[in-house]
Amino acid sequence: MPLWFVRGLRRGVVTTRYPARPDGSAAALPTPPAFRPGQLTRDVADRIVAVCPSAALARRGDNLIFDAGTCTACGRCAAAAPGAVTSSGEWELAATARSALVKEIPIVGRQL
């Protein structure tokens, strides 16, 4: 029996690590937004909801609803509210359930 098979059974490793090595080109990929709840006000939330072309953002009361499955990482929200929205740098978005891609972000910024 090949050695790699025995080693795999003993260590529980069936394939190579993922990723085998860091992918440098990933840094250039557009990534979905990350939000700073402390900088988010209702006005800011409404502004970024209005500029989102793919309806990935919605406001429900004092929560911002963000659907990473609908977001195209176009960057319009970060451009509209640079203090409250940044690029997440997260490009591996796979999830086992669709609902895991929908996030609620509390709006806790002080309304001026």
Residues that bind another protein (CB under 8 A): 25, 28-30, 53-54, 72, 74-75
| 8 A C-beta contact, residue 65 and residue 57 | yes
Of 69 and 75, nearer to another protein (C-beta) is 75
Taking alpha carbons only, the member of 93, 44, 87 closest to residue 67 is: 93
Q: How far is the CB of 74 from another protein (least distance, A)?
A: 6
Q: From CA 51, how far away is CA 67, in angstroms rounded?
A: 15
- In angstroms, give the least distance from the CB of 112 to another protein: 27
Task: Tell me the C-alpha distance between 52 and 5, whole Å.
Answer: 50
The answer to whether the CB of 109 falls within 8 A of the CB of 38 is yes
Closest to another protein by CB, 22 or 61: 22
Rounded least distance, CB 75 to another protein, Å: 7
